[in-house]
Amino acid sequence: MKMRNSVEPMLLADCKPREQCGVFAVYNYMGPGNAAIVTYLGLLALQHRGQESAGMAYASTSGIELVKGMGLVDQVFSRPTLDAVKASTILGHVRYSTTGSSNPYNAQPLVARTFDGKAMALAHNGNLTNTRHLHNRLLEEGQIFHTTSDTEIILALIFRYRRQGLLRAIEQTMQEIRGAYAAVLIDEDHLYAFRDPNGFRPLVIGKIDDTYYLASETAALDTVGASLVREVEPGEIVSIGPDGLISHSGKADVRKSLCIFEYVYFARPDSVISGSNVHQVRKAVGSLLAGRVKQTLDMIIPSPDSGVSAAMGLAEALKLPLEWAVHRNPYLGRTFIEPTQNERELAVRLKFNPIAGLVKGKKVAVVDDSLVRGTTARILTSLLRAAGAREVHLCIASPPYKNPCYYGIDIPVAADLAFSSEGLQILAEQIGADSITFAEPEDLYRALGHGSSDYCTACFSGEYPGLRARRRKVC
């Protein structure tokens, strides 16, 4: 399920956890240009959430049409293609693979058609935890699958129950699927959005006049000039049609469990999730991390670009200079290489270069949002030492990764994670650093202004909402 055809996506895949997808949709667009260009801009704003494939589905006079392919948004869609789309309602998607391999047939949205030409298209962000059970059951009942994505399972169930009406079909489907999903569906007349009862993945509603938008992050709404209306609530179904937006409440007896790594790494710094700006949360965690740093330091260095917000908070709290002492090459070309460990390290060296004049003889702290395999931290430490740094300390603005994720994030199995139960000093030595300091879970909760009950922290704690009894042994 890893990207193997470029350095940059490979680095994201192997040095950081990967989010699965981003969703953007527009309903009843009447503004300048056309809806396809607006959707294109929205998907560009969500490109960080998925870089394997991109697609759009829209209603035309001949039914639901699709434009999708492998690659980045600007590689999949050309201006002539966008100009040719004559539709006011469009569903767009960018994808990383977690459930289902990285292949063209898994690119979303997915479409289901009836014998009389009617159709529906679905895109979703997340990961079902009962995929195998539902897949086997549907196969036994005669279902033919064309992809290996769990999105097709959701679509197949809705399609089966469609004669009850799409709203009831979605309700019935939500009773059968388990796990994380923030999904959007369109037919010829309506746009529907629905979110799992725990609310693992974000999904927001925006509006300009009579045009509605749905997006995985508020940054995409900002890009197209839409105002944030609110989030789709956990367990809620929203229908948008000629009568406007109608809310259909779902389960209310399940605790909210938004993935806390939306704040740590996945979301753009300019996005707002559950009322909290992502950059401000990360900066606040950095400030709190300052109270855990015991070393004497000369400067703070952000790991480009994921550690910038936390590094700002740490530097301010410690009253130390913040120096961009590691240059990140923004023009790293796409090359066809296999992600072996040696090539991962070569790619990181190509990506980063320290400024020796700033770090020579200095005690420096490198700040990053998280530590997964440790490849980037290991190479950055080595590069800084080679540039003359006297000491290199790592400050990580989140607790240690200890467990895999089952809710739509591609986090390696425990055996591949950098964290060691032997202790932080041993971990620091393995990476080559003088010390390593992690934020504690309570630092994240204080930065967010909420307790642990509002978030999924399984990657730290091993406590999986809805799967505790089943998954505890796995971890």
- 154 in the same domain as 94: yes
Number of domains in the chain: 2
414 within 8 A of 402, measured Cβ to Cβ: yes
Residue 365, beta-bridge partner list? 300, 393
Do 214 and 322 lie in a common domain?
no
Does 271 map to a domain? no
The reply to whether 462 falls in a domain is no
Same domain for 249 and 343? no
Angle between helices 7-15 and 341-351 (to 10 degrees): 110
Q: SS3 string of 191-204? A: EEEEECCCCCCCCE
Phi then psi dihedrals of residue 115, to 5 deg? -65, -25
Q: Is residue 304 located within the same domain as residue 192?
A: no
The predicted structure's pLDDT at residue 414: 54
Same domain as 306, residue 355: yes
The two structure tokens encoding residue 68: 């999708």
What pLDDT sits at residue 141? 93
Crossing angle, helix 375-386 and helix 424-431, to 10 degrees?
A: 60
Query: Do both 225 and 293 map to the same domain?
Result: no
Same domain for 203 and 292, yes or no, is: no
CA distance 134 to 193: 21
Could you tell me the CA-to-CA distances from 60 to 39, 81, 212, 237, 441 in Å, in that order?
16, 14, 19, 25, 49
Measured distance CA(376)–CA(372) in Å, rounded: 9
pLDDT average per 10 residues of sequence, the chain (475 residues): 32 49 96 94 96 93 91 95 95 77 82 89 94 94 90 96 95 95 95 96 97 98 98 96 90 79 94 96 98 97 93 98 92 48 67 94 96 85 96 96 76 56 84 95 93 85 69 33
Is the domain of 249 the same as that of 337?
no
Taking alpha carbons only, the member of 101, 128, 264, 285 closest to residue 196 is 128
The CA distances from residue 166 to 23, 170, 387, in Å, are: 20, 6, 61
User: Is 463 inside any structural domain?
Assistant: no
pLDDT at position 159:
96
DSSP collapsed to 3 states, the chain: CCCCCCHHHHHHHHHCCEECEEEEEEECCCCCCCHHHHHHHHHHHCHHHCCCEEEEEEEECCEEEEEEEECCHHHHCCHHHHHCCCCCCEEEEEECCCCCCCCHHHCCCEEEECCCCCEEEEEEEEEECCHHHHHHHHHHCCCCCCCCCHHHHHHHHHHHCHHHCHHHHHHHHHHHCCEEEEEEEECCCCEEEEECCCCCCCCEEEEECCEEEEECCHHHHHHHCCEEEEECCCCCEEEEECCEEEEECCCCCCCCCEECHHHHHHCCCCCEECCEEHHHHHHHHHHHHHHHCCCCCCEEEECCCCCHHHHHHHHHHHCCCECCCEEECCCCCCCCCCCCHHHHHHHHHHHEEECHHHHCCCEEEEEECCCCCCHHHHHHHHHHHHCCCCEEEEEECCCCCCCCCCCCEECCCHHHCCCCCCCHHHHHHHHCCCEEEECCHHHHHHHHCCCHHHEECHHHHCCCCCCHHHHCCCC
- In a domain, residue 362? The reply is yes
Residue of 15, 21, 395, 456 marked catalytic: 21
Which bin fits 28, alpha (ψ -120 to 50), beta or left (φ > 0)?
A: left
Residue 469 domain-assigned? no
Residue 21 annotated to the active site: yes
CATH number of the domain bearing residue 15: 3.60.20.10
**145 with 72, same domain?**
yes
Domain membership of residue 376 as a residue range: 276-450
| Residues 25 and 127 grouped into a single domain | yes
| CATH number of the domain within which 438 lies | 3.40.50.2020
Tell me, what's the pLDDT at 110?
96
Count the residues in the chain. Answer: 475
CA distances from 48 to 72, 281, 454 (A): 10, 19, 25
264 in a domain, yes or no? no
Residue 364, pLDDT score: 98
Residue 164 placed within a domain: yes
286 and 141 both lie in a single domain? no
Phi-psi region of 330 (alpha: psi -120 to 50; beta: other; left: phi over 0): alpha
Do both 246 and 307 map to the same domain?
A: no
Query: What local confidence, expressed as pLDDT, does residue 10 receive?
Result: 35
Task: Give domain status of residue 262, yes or no.
Answer: no
